[in-house]
Amino acid sequence: MSILLWEAIAEPTERYPSCHCSTMIELKNGDLLVGYYAGEGEARPDAAWVLARRSPTDEKFQQLVSVADTSGKPEGNGILLQNKDGLLSLIYGTMHGNLEGKAGPGVRWVTCDLRIKKSTDSGYTWSTAEVIEENWGHVPRCQPIHLLNGDILFGTEFTTWHSQVWASQDDGLSWKVRGQIPGERNQHPALVLLQDGSILALIRPSGKDPKVLRSLSHDQGRTWSKAEITDNYCPFSALDAIILKDGRVVMAWNNHPEDRNPLTLGLSYDGGQTWPHKRDLIQGEGSFHYPSIIQSNDGLIHVTFTNNRRTIDHIVLTADWIEGKGRPLTNWSMSSNRRQWS
Backbone angles phi, psi at 337, to 5 degrees: 55, 35
d(CA 165, CA 267): 25
Q: How large a percentage of the chain has pLDDT more than 70?
A: 98
d(CA 296, CA 298): 5
Looking at residue 313, its pLDDT comes to 98
Q: How confident is the model at residue 6 (pLDDT cuts 50, 70, 90)?
A: very high
Q: How large a percentage of the chain has pLDDT more than 90?
A: 92
Residue 70's CB is within 10 A of a number of other CB atoms, namely 16
- Give 121: exposed, middle or buried? Use CB within 10 Å, 0-12, 13-18, 19+: exposed
d(CA 147, CA 135): 27
189 in Cβ contact with 144 (< 8 Å): no
Q: How confident is the model at residue 1 (pLDDT cuts 50, 70, 90)?
A: low
CA 186 to chain centre: 16
Q: What is the DSSP string of 193-234?
A: E-TTS-EEEEEEE-SSS-EEEEEEESSTTSS-PPBEEEEEE-
What is the tens place of the pLDDT at every residue in 164-204?
999 999 999 999 999 999 999 999 999 999 999 999 999 99
Q: Which amino acid, one-letter code, is at 308?
A: N
Count CA within 13 A, CB hemisphere, residue 278.
15
Looking at residue 335, its pLDDT comes to 85
Q: What is the DSSP string of 34-75?
A: EEEEEESSTT-TT-EEEEEEE-TT-SSPPPPEEEE--TTS-E
Which pTM was predicted? 0.97
Residue 224's CB is within 10 A of a number of other CB atoms, namely 22
Q: Which amino acid, one-letter code, is at 54?
A: R
Q: How confident is the model at residue 98 (pLDDT cuts 50, 70, 90)?
A: confident
319 in Cβ contact with 307 (< 8 Å): no
Which domains does the chain possess? 3-191+291-321 (2.120.10.10)
Q: Residue 32: which H helix or E strand, with range?
A: strand 32-39
Average pLDDT on 290-294 reads: 98
CA 183 to chain centre: 22
Long-range contacts of the stretch 145-148 (C-beta < 8 A, 24+): 145/191, 145/192, 145/193, 145/199, 146/193, 147/193, 147/220, 148/193, 148/197
Strand 48-54: give its sheet, edge to edge: 18-26, 32-39, 48-54, 65-68
3-state secondary structure of 111: helix
pLDDT surpassing 70 at residue 105: no
| Lowest mean pLDDT across 28-37, 225-234, 327-336 | 327-336
What is the tens place of the pLDDT at every residue in 253-283?
999 999 999 999 999 999 999 999 999 999 9
pLDDT surpassing 70 at residue 138: yes
